[in-house]
Structures are given as structure tokens and as C-alpha cells.
Amino acid sequence: MARIQASRVVWDSLFTLVFPASCRVCQSAIEGFTPVPVCPACLRAARPYAGLECAGCGLFLRGNAALQETLYCGLCLQGAFVFEQARSFGRYEGVLRSLIHHLKYDGFRPLARPLGKLLAHTVQRLDAPVFDLVLPVPLHSKRQRRRGFNQAALLAAALSAELSAETSPVSGIRVRTEDCVRVRDTRPQTGLRAAERRKNVDGAFEVPRPERVQSRRLLLVDDVITTGATVNACAQALLDAGAGRVSVVTLARAHPEDADVL
């Protein structure tokens, strides 16, 4: 496994050396060699969401952000989520969507690094950005083997490195990829209604060693959040195992009807 990963890393870097670097998003030529096949202008074009959001789950809301009110969405008011708070960098569209695609489906792993910076920015939008551990939302082992990596784990590692590099209240937090595992290979959430999504992922996660998360403040990381059903099921497993609290950050927030959210 380690060998396969090492050879992929070599391949990723060879790829950038052998082929002339052109930006995968806007197709313009990139000056010099770069491990990231996206130009600086496109990386800068991914802007954080600046509108109103639900104070709980971070759902993007319509309305005037200047009002600075504390607002909750209908689901949060019903107590639908067990995680403390969730925040997403931006909408699942445009450049951000394209960057996530290149990481996830085209396997451009070096993209995790600039995307980790966006996540570090997002962490600061949580009310209490202090954590003991960072955990990626796990993929089922079958799916991870097929893809060769878990994009959420790459993002969690990049985020942790970013936070450790800053003078930040969350510096030096560890990433644990093995503390929450996916025990059921769920079908893609695409096309499912909210209630079906919750049922689809119910009981899909397990915490093999509860003592490792006991009373810990956890930060769950994923690339995209849609209805929140997946992160909620994951948070439920961690809280059942004794976690102190679970917060969530994702790069993007997608509409349930976005066809390519898996």
C-alpha cells in the first residue's frame, strides 16, 4: 500500500515535469514548474462565502448578511444534527467545484495543500475553533481502494499542517484517519431525499477504539456537505463512542440536486 502511494507521488510530480503546465481550470499557461496544475489566479478566484449562514449547521441562507443576526435553519431548530457546528468555505460551484473535481476524480493530490488553506480559513468561522483531533470523514475501504485515496484524509492532513504552521489556538493538532471507519458501503447520496439520505448512512460509521476519542474535541473534515446526513451519522458514531464534541468543516456546500455530489 505504502509503495503504491509512493509511486503515485512520483507519478504526480513527473506528470508536472513531463507535460507543459497549463491551468486545468482556465487553460492558461503556468510559468515555471508547479506541483499544482492550477494557476495562481484561479486559486485566488475561490472566494469564501460571505452571506448569511445558519449558526448551527452553516446552511447558506438568503437575506442580508449585514444584519449580523444569529439565525438557525429549520433543521437545526428541530435538533436534527448532533454535531456542534458546521461551516463550509464556499458554494459548490465555479472554481471551487472544479478544484474539488481535480483533487477527487482526477487525482491531483497536490491540490490538497491550497485547499487546506481554504479550510484553515473556514475553521476560524466556528465559534470555538479549538480541537484535540482532526478526523476525515472516512470512505469505505472498498471505495478507497478503487480511488486510491480518501480526499477527505488529504484535506484533513493539509488543514492540520496549515494550522500547525500558523500561530493558532489549534496548532499542532493531530490527524487520525483510523479513529472513525465506514463499516457499510453506502450507495451514493445523489438523487436521494433528505430522509432517505439519513437512512442510507445510518449506522454506516464505527469507532474501533472509543478510548481514543473519549471526551475529545473533534473536527470532522470533508470536501462537500449537502444535507449534512453523512457528517451527522459520522458525528453520531463519535459521540456514541464518548467524544466531547464534534464540529465540522467542509470546502463546499452543495445543493441536494447537484448531480455530481457523491
Binding residues vs Zn ion (CB under 5 A): 23, 25-26, 39, 42, 54, 56-57, 59, 73, 76
Cα of first residue to Cα of last residue in the chain, in angstroms, is 25
Q: Of 23 and 152, which CB lies nearer to Zn ion in the complex structure?
A: 23
Between 106 and 166, whose beta carbon lies closer to Zn ion? Answer: 106
For residue 132, give Cα distances in angstroms to 44, 48, 52: 30, 25, 28
Nearer to Zn ion, 213 or 235 (CB): 235
- Kindly state the smallest distance separating residue 52's Cβ from Zn ion, in Å: 11
Tell me the closest approach of the beta carbon of residue 42 to Zn ion, in angstroms. 3
Shortest Cβ 149–Zn ion spacing (Å): 24
Q: How far is the CB of 59 from Zn ion (least distance, A)?
A: 5
Smallest distance, Zn ion to C-beta of residue 220, A = 16
Pick the closest to residue 89 from 57, 50, 61, 56 (CA basis). Answer: 50
Nearer to Zn ion, 42 or 135 (CB): 42
Q: Which is nearer to Zn ion, 75 or 181 (CB)?
A: 75
Q: Which is nearer to Zn ion, 71 or 181 (CB)?
A: 71
Query: Do β-strands 245-253 and 86-91 pair in parallel, antiparallel, or remain unpaired?
Result: parallel
Measured from the CB of residue 183, what is the shortest distance to Zn ion in angstroms?
Answer: 27
87 or 216: whose CB is closer to Zn ion? 87
CB 32 within 8 Å of CB 41: no
Nearest 10 degrees: Cα torsion 45, 48, 49, 53: 170
* Shortest distance in whole angstroms from residue 99 CB to Zn ion: 10
Contact of 60 with 87, CB cutoff 8 Å: no
> What Rg, from alpha-carbon coordinates, does the chain have?
18
User: Beta strands 205-206 and 181-182: pairing type?
Assistant: antiparallel
Distance CA 156, CA 116 (A): 7
What DSSP designation does 109 have?
Answer: G
C-alpha distances in Å from residue 200, one per residue of 109, 189, 191: 29, 8, 12
